[in-house]
Amino acid sequence: MHRRTVPGPAPAERWASAGRARRYAAAVTSQTPAGPADAVIRLLDLREEALDATEVLAAVDDPTAGGVNLFVGVVRDHDGGASVDHLDYSAHPTALARLREVAEGVVRDFEVVALAAVHRTGTLQVGDTAVLVAASAAHRGQAYDASRALIDRLKAEVPVWKHQVFADGHDEWVGTP
């Protein structure tokens, strides 16, 4: 099995090179009414193109943060004892709005400096990154807790559905209502 690896923590200068994250965060903020969570929720998106961990880390970079936690979800080569060929992710039209509600809940429940979450849609192969979630906080425990809550709530509450296609040709939908 081949898995892509994410390099260890990079200096803030490298993270800042992902200016796309800051521009996107500004676009998201300008589309919704300003509120207390807007300064904390820096990047939320659903996209068909490959995800970039550097962009997500840049989004949560903050001089007040002493801890940053990044979760990278990748497509594995098996599920329930069967070999996975590929996955197809699809999202309900309300998925991005629901992701924002989930992120706002994490901001309310945890002492967090910044949050980011990006989920792939479309066809993904084994080893592809399916989801990136990051949290920064004053201390590492807060960053871990917020990041864990964000990924767990995203998977439970955001209407993104996984269609698994197995090597033997059979398939199944996961996470559908």
How is the chain split among helix, strand and coil, in percent rounded to 5? 35, 35, 35
- For residue 51, what is the DSSP state? P
Looking at the predicted structure, is the pLDDT value of residue 64 above 90?
yes
pLDDT digits 0-9 by tens, 127-161: 999 999 999 999 999 999 999 999 999 999 999 99
* Other residues' Cβ atoms within 10 Å of the Cβ of residue 117: 29
pLDDT band per the 50, 70, 90 thresholds, residue 111? very high
pLDDT band per the 50, 70, 90 thresholds, residue 35? low
Q: Mean pLDDT of all residues in the chain?
A: 85
Q: How many residues does the chain have?
A: 177
pLDDT at residue number 44: 98
Backbone angles phi, psi at 153, to 5 degrees: -70, -40
pLDDT at residue number 169: 95
CB 58 within 8 A of CB 21: yes
Looking at the predicted structure, is the pLDDT value of residue 22 above 50?
no
Question: What's the average model confidence in pLDDT over 93-104?
Answer: 98
pLDDT band per the 50, 70, 90 thresholds, residue 175? confident
